[in-house]
Amino acid sequence: MKGLEELIADASVFAGLDASWLALIAGCAGNEHVRAETLLFQEGQPAERFFLIRHGAIALEVHSPATGSLVIETLGEGEVVGWSWLFKPYRWQFDARAIKPTRLVAFDGACLRAKCDANHELGYQLMHRFASAMLERLQATRLQLLDVYGNARASV
Amino acid sequence: MVPEPFEVVAKRRDTVDTWTLELRSRSGEPLRFAPGQFTMLSAGGAGEVPISISGDPDRPERLVHTVRAVGLATRAICDADPGRVLGVRGPFGTPWPVEDVRGMDVVLAAGGLGLAPLRPALIGLLGRREQYRRLVLMYGGRSPDQLLYPDELEDWAARGLEVLVTVDSAGPEWLGHVGVVTRLVRRAELDWTATASMLCGPEVMMRFMVAALVGQGVPSANIYASMERNMQCGIGHCGHCQLGPTLVCRDGPVYSWSELEQWLAIREL
């Protein structure tokens, strides 16, 4: 069975970090298992944690009174769930719900922020990795916004 | 150049605006075709359109087309009920390289209606399943109710195709993936340098898909894409479908990406 440090090191977002930093990060982390339908977090609530998916899948949802819940993205194995713990006002912008039984590594955001404040090199390395993951999501979202399948080119 | 009469013998509604028609030649002659080819299809005086063949190449007695009703000609075709006669010219164009990719992992990536032109290749690959290593379909659609061939996706999965489906948006009842099709690439663990890929969908989707595949290590010479342009004559005479120095109706629609990428970088083309 893999320890927390090993699980964290396996994730692409933490790839290549020094063992000492992995130990620091693991000090803010713990294993969790959630059932299908579990709400990991809800829009507007304090964003105190984030998650690394080991197995399973998490849907990010937005709720509108007119349309109900809409799934805007599904995240799977090896992906990070949640960025709002990084930035003020530390509130979730979306809902996150497990769509199947899911195993996670849960991180205490305040704990990790404090370690980044105390060790700027660790902070830089982490922010660099998180920014890269966020950029990938941003680019995917832009492509999603194009609605490419709905705008058939042909008018014949 | 003269359209042959084909009778609609079966019709199925796939989505709110998309229909699959099965046609039979009035002459009784089967229309033999290679996966990836298209015909020029017409309904009365409503005009003629290029439509990829989506049927089984081993069953040429039935010509199958999946058509989205988006304009005058395609609406007229989709309105054709069994018994109605449509005009067919073809088949035209270059095929998917199903023989060339034997022994490789094969990724078929489709966006929206792009699954229809890939369907004959899929049927062909699954019919000779032992000649290929892993077969993966990455299929992106607008929403769950816009996905083509849902029953067949299950059947293909049972026959050895790894089916990864994603939609742009969905309600909470959808337990599948939500996100762009390019994000499926990271979820598949393949021998990327020995992988071939066949892409069909909106051009912008294919460009991003190629970037994701090449990023994993797939050589661009192993990537093939089916292109859409303003095809009118179907035989390389009228020039309407020019793409760089090629004519899509004659030299395409299936191209190797290493051949295509130089022309797609020029926006005016």
Looking at residue A151, what is its pLDDT?
53
Looking at the fold, whether B33 and B125 belong to one and the same domain comes out as no
- Looking at the domain assignment, is residue B97 inside a domain? no
**Total domains present in chain B:** 2
Q: What single-letter amino acid sits at B241?
A: C
Alpha-carbon distance of B149 to B129, in angstroms, equals 20
Which segments of chain B have a pLDDT < 70?
268-269
Sign of CA dihedral A15, A17, A20, A26: negative
CA neighbor of B164 nearest in space, from B136, B133, B200: B136
In a domain, B100, yes or no: no
Question: Which residue in chain A has the smallest CA separation from B144?
Answer: A71
Would you call B24 an interface residue with chain A, using a CB distance cutoff of 8 Å?
no
Q: What pLDDT score does B94 carry?
A: 94
- Label residue A154 by pLDDT band (50, 70, 90): very low
Read off the tokens for A77.
Answer: 């194995």
Question: Whose structure tokens read 């899911």?
Answer: A102
The alpha carbon of residue B138 is apart from the nearest alpha carbon of chain A, in Å, by 14
Domain ranges, ordered by start, for chain A: 4-145
Residues of A near B (CB-CB distance < 8 A)?
Answer: 57, 59, 61, 68-74, 76-77, 97, 99-100, 140, 143-144, 146-156
The reply to whether B187 touches chain A by the CB within 8 Å rule is: yes
Q: Which of B84, B85, B80, B67 is nearest to B20 (CA)?
A: B67
Let me know if residue B81 belongs to a domain.
Answer: yes
Is the Cβ–Cβ distance between B35 and B96 less than 8 Å? yes
The answer as to whether B252 is a domain residue is no
Residue B61 lies in a domain: yes
β-partners of residue B123 are: none
Enumerate the residues of chain A whose CB falls inside 8 A of the CB of residue B72: 156
Question: Do residues B60 and B6 make contact, with C-beta atoms less than 8 angstroms apart?
Answer: no
* Alpha helices, H only, B79-158: 115-127, 150-158
CB B69 within 8 A of CB B17: yes
pLDDT tens, residue by residue, B212-232 = 999 999 999 999 999 888 888
Choose among B166, B172, B179: nearest Cβ to A69.
B172
Residue type for B6, please? F
Beta strands in A16-57 (DSSP E): 29-34, 39-41, 49-55
Give the pLDDT confidence score for residue A85 in this predicted structure: 95
Residue with tokens 């009920």: B81
Question: Looking at beta carbons, which residues of chain A come within 8 Å of B171?
Answer: 68-71
Question: Would the pLDDT of A156 be above 70?
Answer: no
Residue B163 inside a domain? The answer is: yes
Per-residue model confidence as pLDDT tens digits over B88-146: 998 999 999 999 999 999 999 999 999 999 999 999 999 999 999 999 999 999 999 99
Residue B118 lies in a domain: yes
Q: Which of B64, B92, B120 is where one domain is finished?
A: B92
User: pLDDT exceeding 90 applies to what percent of chain A?
Assistant: 81
**For A61, nearest residue in chain B (alpha carbons):** B172
Judge whether A72 and B178 are in contact, CB under 8 Å.
Answer: yes
ipTM over 0.85: no
**pLDDT single digits (tens) A119-150:** 999 999 999 999 999 999 999 899 888 888 86
The verdict on B123 and B210 lying in the same domain is yes
Contacts of A100 in chain B (CB under 8 A): 175
Q: Residue B187 and residue B104: Cα distance in Å, rounded?
A: 18
Q: Which of A74, A149, A156 sits opposite B178 (nearest CB)?
A: A74
| B77 vs B150: CA distance, rounded Å | 23
Provide mean pLDDT across the span A4-9: 92
Q: Which domain holds residue B154?
A: 105-226
Nearest to A149 among B70, B146, B175 (CB): B146
Rounded to an integer, what distance in angstroms lies between the CA atom of residue B34 and that of residue B95?
6
Q: Which CATH superfamily is A4-145 part of?
A: Jelly Rolls (2.60.120.10)
What's the CATH number where B18 sits? 2.40.30.10
